[in-house]
Amino acid sequence: MFVFLLCLVCLSSGQAKARYDWRLSKECTPSGSNLHDFKIRNVTEDAEIDFRLLTGGKLTLIVNVATYCEYTSQYLELNDLQKKFGPSGFQVIGFPCNQFNKEEPGSKIEILNGVLHVRPGKGFVPNFPLTRKVDVNGKEQHAIYTFLKNACPVSPQSLFAKREQLYYDHLHVNDIRWNFEKFLVSPSGAPLRRYHSSIKPSQLEGDIEQFLLFSSFK
């Protein structure tokens, strides 16, 4: 019921406040699973991320990230979102993935060194957790992405990239199309919206403010 009311709010008033083309996001439908049911190793694979502990009661933004992508500069704005909204109950989580034009070739500490020294570079350190490198599409996709795509089956990007840029088999209509696609998940663990890769994190501030406001009345 809570998610339904939030969606109604988005459709009625949030559209006017959105800082992006509304057609570049799609509403999700609650499914039986819950984000808080999942666990995954962190980027260096030396600790476990328990989503019930990390995201329980928090509005969460999930992003599949890559170091050598045209959208890698979005890392900077993801840090800004975490800094601005984190104290209000908001959490960003990045999922490194190498399935799109092989733009995340490193692993473990190589990923952290890549964002530190190359892109975005200049000493950049994410202020939010990165998971181990995962597949977001195909037969080896992580269960979290199966869950997200089942709840949000309509992609905000209709076209696929060139086939030679996609490193997985068996394309499906609900596939992640490229790096930096985003999912906003409610404090209760239900996916709310799915966003096109080109939408900058700063353009989501209106949606985040709305969802945080209404979650405070739950």
CA distance 121 to 113: 9
Q: Which of 7, 10, 28, 69 is catalytic?
A: 69
Nearest to 82 by CA among 104, 64, 59: 59
What are 87's two structure tokens? 């104290």
How remote is the C-alpha of 38 from its chain's centroid? 15
CA distance 142 to 27: 22
> DSSP label at 194?
E
Cα–Cα distance list, 150 to 29, 46, 52, 174, 201 (Å): 8, 29, 20, 8, 23
**Which residues neighbour 32 within 8 Å (Cβ) at sequence distance 6 or greater?**
none
The Cβ of residue 12 has, within 10 Å, a number of other Cβ atoms equal to 9
**Annotated catalytic residue 28:** no
Write out the catalytic residue numbers: 69
